[in-house]
Amino acid sequence: MTSSNNINKLELEDLQLTESLKKITLHKLIAEKVNIAQMLQRDRRSEHIQVCGSMLQFLKERNLVSEEIRRRLVKGNFCKYRFCPMCQWRMARKVCREVLGRLRTIDEQHNGVALLFLTLTIKNEPLTELNSTVKLLSKAFYRMQQLKQYKDAVLGSIRAIEFLGDNTEAGECHPHFHCLLVVNKSYFKSRDYINFEEWTSLWQRSLRVNYRPVINVQRVKPKGKMSAIVAAALEVVKYSVTSSDLEKLSKEDFQELDRQTRNIRQYNYSGELKDAEPTFDELEDESLWELLEEEYYQWSHGKYSKRKFNSAV
């Protein structure tokens, strides 16, 4: 993989690392369509979820050198609920930036690394068994990390959990891991290389099951104008449940999903990726930006309208 210094402004824009009213509007509309608050019914969290992102405060600023105008979101009444489409998107962006920073650090330390996507699954289970199944998956992943073949090949990893599949039956769950593995750039031509059948055997051994679990493994490559590092950071921040999957759930199944997934971590780092301090671009000189205006927006009738307020949100 080429040096992480090749990550340019266009790629960062693709990462959506800056707030924009247009993007927030899109996810607010998705949230209204899914209507999680209604599925939770009388749960005390419903009210906060219902009004999530309804009030926003931006700072409108101008660069004294380039005359560029920017708007920064500085406040908003976000609910931070795990399955809220708005907050899932915001969390994914935050994690994406952190993953990118950690990958940059490791890439520089090793003078280039390679990346693998590894998907690890288990047979579907009843939704009422989701929590215990995730614990089983986590223990299996830990066992796999202790195997010599894995330790010789993998420098570090981040894994994300997803709870449902595209065609999961009602009343069932399909928890699986999306893993990003960091390996040496010589991995594919070295004795440490692990082929598909070997990965399947490693996972079956770690799961301690008598069937061949479904897995997928592939090398991360540049995507369009994005470097492999950027493509990897974007891909790994999977939502625990997509909006389209949420819409398919009955109220009863959603409430069970909510109960089963409490206290389950969405992302887990290990190895060098866990220890790496993120490397970010040099921060802009904030003294070059002057405040033009504080802007306030309120959500009403499917859109944000600019409002005037005497105090912050």
Residue 12: what pLDDT?
40
Cα distances (Å, whole numbers) of residue 271 to 16, 139, 156, 268: 27, 16, 4, 11
Rounded average pLDDT over 93-112: 91
Residue 41: what pLDDT?
78
Indicate whether 43 pLDDT > 80.
no
Indicate whether 187 pLDDT > 60.
yes
Q: Which residue has the higher pLDDT, 89 or 2?
A: 89
Share above pLDDT 90 across residues of the chain, in percent, rounded to a whole number:
65
Sort strands 176-184 and 113-120 into parallel, antiparallel or unpaired: antiparallel
- Binned at pLDDT 50, 70 and 90, residue 224 comes out as confident
User: Under 8 Å CB-to-CB from 152, ≥6 apart: which residues?
Assistant: 192
- Binned at pLDDT 50, 70 and 90, residue 16 comes out as very low
Residue 210: what pLDDT?
96
CA–CA separation, 254 and 251 (whole Å): 5
In the chain, DSSP finds a helix count (H) and a strand count (E) of: 12, 11
Rounded average pLDDT over 269-289: 84
- Full-model pTM: 0.85
On whether the CB atoms of residues 52 and 87 are closer than 8 A, the answer is yes
User: Under 8 Å CB-to-CB from 120, ≥6 apart: which residues?
Assistant: 137, 140, 141, 176, 177, 179, 203, 213, 215
Indicate whether 143 pLDDT > 80.
yes
Q: Which residue has the higher pLDDT, 203 or 221?
A: 203
- Binned at pLDDT 50, 70 and 90, residue 231 comes out as confident
Q: How far is CA 105 from the centre of its chain?
A: 19
Rounded average pLDDT over 300-308: 90
